[in-house]
Amino acid sequence: MAETLILDRAEIKALVSPQEALEPMRNAFRLYSTQRAVPALRVPSPLPAPAPSDAGAMILAPGVVPGTPAYTVKVHAKYPARNPAIQGVIILSSLETGATLAIMESGFLTALRTGLAGAIAADVLARPDARTVAIVGAGAQGILQLEMLLLVRPITRACVYDISADRAHEFATRNSSRLGIEIEAADNLDTATRDSDIVVTATWATEPFLHPVMIRPGTHITTLGADQPGKAEMSADLLRSSLFVCDDCDLAVTMGAAGGAGVGAEVIDAELGEVIAGLHPGRAEPDEITIFGSVGLAFQDLVVAWLAYQEALRRGTGHTVDFQRQE
């Protein structure tokens, strides 16, 4: 009898330690760029009415990591006006038999793996003395990016900018004492970006809003918003004048930061996994501007889903369903 483990958001949050997931995720990026077994596959699609005009569905498959005996397929939807904005499931299956090992809520794991990727990229590409960060977009991912950065760098001060000033002030008030660092709400995007060593953009923007004149020399930028066609945060000039590192070269052009800015593969210097593996040197000068453009890849889902599944089995968490039951 093949039973499938069912895990909800609350159960998953108690199972996965971000600190313990950092090194497996870092290694998975390295393996993806050096031992790629299958190409990344993301299938985004708009949804018709009565869904809101900005709603979309997406499938990510297959998520594989060499040495992990399972793969993932993620099916989720993005509804920007809802909270949470991402809703769906990750299906974990056995590579050997195809049996469905687990079905997990996807929103938390998606946010976690995106936060881990941003932190790893900043740790790899930002200057060693980077201590201040600007968060552009005061949503759930902005908060998680800051939390994950604190795992890898001794951040001393943060500022947050959002098109909603109230949301930015709420972000600062709610998280400053909780995280134990100074957080200020910025009234001006230019001021926020020019005064920070690290800039993280996590927005729903459809037009580039960061340009070279807004970024001081030596800054590292992580851009997360451009993860499907029609979204953009970085200008073409900023990408051209920076060291641009992505998670996947093809997807960066078809639906990521490069494509969103209207440029092609000529602006891409390396994949993050290549820098981690030492195949590309990464930052070469203290005054160099570095950018990490993340589309988000299925193997990242597998890293955190596998950790959650293994810990759930160890603890006896969740409940099981036998989808093959005959009677």
Q: Which residues are catalytic?
A: 227
- Can you tell me the distance from the alpha carbon of 98 to that of 100, in angstroms, rounded to the nearest whole number? 6
Burial of 59: CB neighbours in 10 Å, binned 0-12, 13-18, 19+: middle
User: Distance between terminal CA atoms of the chain?
Assistant: 13
Q: Is the peptide bond before 217 cis (omega within 30 degrees of 0)?
A: no
- Check the CA dihedral 183-188-193-195 and report its sign: negative
Cβ–Cβ < 8 Å for 303, 256: no
CB 262 within 8 A of CB 255: no
Report the chain's C-alpha Rg in angstroms: 19
Asked if 291 and 238 touch (Cβ cutoff 8 Å), the reply is yes
Query: Which residues share a beta bridge with 88?
Result: 76
Token duo for residue 149: 């950065």
Nearest-angstrom CA–CA distance, 223 and 294: 6
**Cα–Cα distance between 250 and 231 in angstroms, integer?**
16
> Do residues 201 and 223 lie in contact, with contact meaning Cβ atoms separated by under 8 Å?
yes
Give the phi and the psi of residue 131 in degrees, each rounded to 5: -130, -15
Residue 224 in contact with residue 202, Cβ under 8 Å?
A: yes
CA torsion 48-300-176-81 (nearest 10°) is 0
Residue type, 188: N
